[in-house]
A and B are shown apart, each in its own frame.
Chain A
Amino acid sequence: DTAVSQTPKYLVTQMGNDKSIKCEQNLGHDTMYWYKQDSKKFLKIMFSYNNKELIINETVPNRFSPKSPDKAHLNLHINSLELGDSAVYFCASSPRDNTEAFFGQGTRLTVV
């Protein structure tokens, strides 16, 4: 069973469109994250949710809106996509007791 799953794996879309990436974890973890890995391969945190509550919101354009319907899901919605949004987006989850983080396989977003 996949612990942290993201869909879709690949997403190609035109500038100006609105798109969503879904993430689900079946580990019973309390905390979920979204990370962006840019062209230089640097991973940077975007958001963190704990039990459906937003706890970290790094400097991210407000075109990005995370949504957590329950603690097992954290979806990322992006409005008015721009070329600079092209990247690989990773979802992750971790329990609250500071054990290891588990990552999804990533979603490669390409904006054309």
Chain B
Amino acid sequence: KQEVTQIPAALSVPEGENLVLNCSFTDSAIYNLQWFRQDPGKGLTSLLLIQSSQREQTSGRLNASLDKSSGRSTLYIAASQPGDSATYLCAVRKNSGGYQKVTFGTGTKLQVIP
């Protein structure tokens, strides 16, 4: 059974700092990994998607890496801003019986202090 863990569970940093969020998964036979952000009381916004054949993806100040063999992904946020405050979730997709199953991580709640 796939288990996805995110460390730390919560993080508070001053504005402008670079930071790294971690995601680990127990079953490395994944098809892709996706990073989301969730704002309080709202849905999930997709940030980055990394296919299993890729090692990293970048979008603006965000960079996500994937090491499938070790079951790890990191989300790097450069020059953090108060607007980055949210809960960040990673999710891994695996083919299960010919279909797809998405398992979410436990989440990291980020607070960027002005």
Chain B contacts of A31 at CB under 8 A?
99-100
Chain B contacts of A100 at CB under 8 A?
32, 34, 46, 49
Q: How many residues of A contact B (CB 8 A)?
A: 26
| Given A56-B99, A98-B93, A105 contacting B104 (CB threshold 8 A) | no
Pair A104/B43 contact, Cβ less than 8 Å? yes
Q: How far is B101's CA from A35's CA once the two chains are assembled, in angstroms? A: 11
* Nearest-CB residue, chain B, relative to A101: B102
B69 at the interface (CB under 8 A from A): no
Pair A98/B43 contact, Cβ less than 8 Å? no
Pair B46/A101 contact, Cβ less than 8 Å? yes
| Given A55-B99, A103-B43, A106-B43, A43 contacting B49 (CB threshold 8 A) | no
Q: How far is B69's CA from A13's CA once the two chains are assembled, in angstroms? A: 47
B44 at the interface (CB under 8 A from A): yes
Closest chain B CB from A60 CB (angstroms) = 14
Closest chain A CB from B67 CB (angstroms) = 19
* Nearest-CB residue, chain B, relative to A103: B44
Chain A contacts of B51 at CB under 8 A?
98
A68 at the interface (CB under 8 A from B): no
Q: How far is B88's CA from A43's CA once the two chains are assembled, in angstroms? A: 12
A96 at the interface (CB under 8 A from B): yes
Binding site for A on B (CB under 8 A): 31-32, 34, 36, 38, 41-44, 46, 49, 51, 87, 89, 91, 93, 95-97, 99-104, 106-107, 109
Binding site for B on A (CB under 8 A): 31, 33, 35, 41-45, 48, 50, 55-56, 90, 92, 94, 96, 98-106, 108
